[in-house]
Amino acid sequence: MPDALLLILKLFTLSLDIQKIRNDFPILNQQIYNKPLVYFDNGATTQKPQVVIDEEVKIYSKENSNIHRGVHYLSEQLTQRHEDARKVVQKFINAQHDHEVIFTGGTTESINTIAFSFGEKYINEGDEIIISTLEHHANIVPWQMLCERKKAVLKVIPINEKGELLLDEYQKLISAKTKIVAVNQVSNALGTVNDIKKIIDLAHQNKIPVLIDGAQSVQHGEVDVQDLDCDFYVFSGHKVYGPNGIGVLYGKEKWLNEMPPYMTGGEMIKKVTFEKTTFNELPFKFEAGTPNYVSAIALATAINYIQELGLENIAAYEKELLEYGTEKLGSIEGLRIIGTAENKVSVISFNLDNIHHYDAGMVIDKMGIAVRTGHHCAEPLMDSLNVEGTIRASFSFYNTKEEIDKLYEAILTVKQMFS
């Protein structure tokens, strides 16, 4: 087939019908301050398609029953749906086994679980843990607290002025005392995509396990934990078009089997006597208490939804939005984009000369546009960039170039108001 024809075919298959997609998200179809809502706060949380909302309503209206315990019909049916949801997540990240997928309350809970449980077993006085300057507080504080408990040392990979990790410096930080590396795949504040394959390879050459915080990456492109060979991978349901209060902790079977449980109670036990308790097998050992089965099942619905759109298509379209937005907003005098990595997802963080980000955010809000302002739960990163905070626009596949034009106009208004 001639090259031109192939290209046309590829473009055709890569296209998303954005208007049709927008109709799947009821929240987008409303006015804020009498203006059509422009939702550019997808880094904080994504909106939910009708199928996800319907799934929850259906469970509560027809199927609800506590799972794993009952012998009655509803309980058995919903237990099956819950375990099917685990398989959907397994396929989504290409985990080898479904029992390597633990349902948690979100990324924060997943990281705390690993920091506590891995830390209990493997971290001793003088050991070192490597994180990076780009981390969200959720991937800093649990490690800091572990270091305090065990008298271990936290080491931090520095960044360059574009907001990219300095991998040569990372290599220098690795030592015989390093026990774990924990980094994000994508920075929530800047959108930088880290070369995690290289980070993992370097750690593994030294037999060090790696945790990847995927809170900002699973929604933007395909993830294959076996190909990455990461030891742990975590993400939140609400950032991948699913419900709140559900998240995923993927861990290699070997680690999860060796690590002690984090939370204890019902479901995670095999046998309890007042003298001694034995623990359940994976994944239940890490799922104490009644699971959030409604959200787990609705998360699987959200994953099926984005997989039907195609993560490749999503990535291609969001790249288009990023390029358009970077050029358009970058053309505004006095606007400085913070985070200009070569490899980014659809996030634009910026500041305006002499205008505080909160002031700008409040004016932009009055035009019906939702952006996030502040330190984005990444205070050490803001410090290292010498900024107090930024204005962040994070785009999803349901956003449009016309909406970016509206943000552009809003920023011009902000500038005028404060000049």
Q: Is 377 a catalytic residue?
A: yes
CB of 106 to ligand PMP, least distance (A): 3
Question: If binding is defined by CB under 6 A, does position 165 make contact with ligand PMP?
Answer: no
Question: If binding is defined by CB under 6 A, does position 297 make contact with ligand PMP?
Answer: no
DSSP letters, 261-317, are PSS-SSSSEEEE-SS-EEE--TTGGG--SS--HHHHHHHHHHHHHHHHH-HHHHHHH
Question: If binding is defined by CB under 6 A, does position 292 make contact with ligand PMP?
Answer: no
290, 268 Cβ separation under 8 angstroms: no
Which residues are within 8 A (CB) of 90 and not within 5 positions of it... i.e. 6 or more apart? 97, 98, 100, 101
Question: If binding is defined by CB under 6 A, does position 115 make contact with ligand PMP?
Answer: no
∠ Cα 59 44 384 (to 5°): 150
Calpha distance 325→327 (Å, rounded) = 5
CB of 355 to ligand PMP, least distance (A): 25
Question: If binding is defined by CB under 6 A, does position 399 make contact with ligand PMP?
Answer: no
Calpha distance 336→351 (Å, rounded) = 5
Q: Return the range that interacts with ligand PMP (CB under 6 A); candidates 80-88, 131-139, 150-158, 399-407.
A: 131-139
Binding residues among 371-390 for ligand PMP as defined by CB under 6 A: 377
Nearest CA to 135 among 378, 306, 314, 366? 378
Nearest CA to 203 among 155, 264, 263, 256? 155
Closer residue to ligand PMP in complex, CB, 94/244: 244
CB of 76 to ligand PMP, least distance (A): 31
Question: If binding is defined by CB under 6 A, does position 184 make contact with ligand PMP?
Answer: yes
Question: If binding is defined by CB under 6 A, does position 344 make contact with ligand PMP?
Answer: no
Q: Return the range that interacts with ligand PMP (CB under 6 A); candidates 12-20, 25-33, 210-218, 350-358.
A: 210-218
Residues in the chain: 419
Count of residues that bind ligand PMP according to CB under 6 A: 13
Residues that bind ligand PMP (CB under 6 A): 106-108, 136, 138-139, 184, 188, 213, 215-216, 236, 377
Supply the residues annotated as catalytic.
377
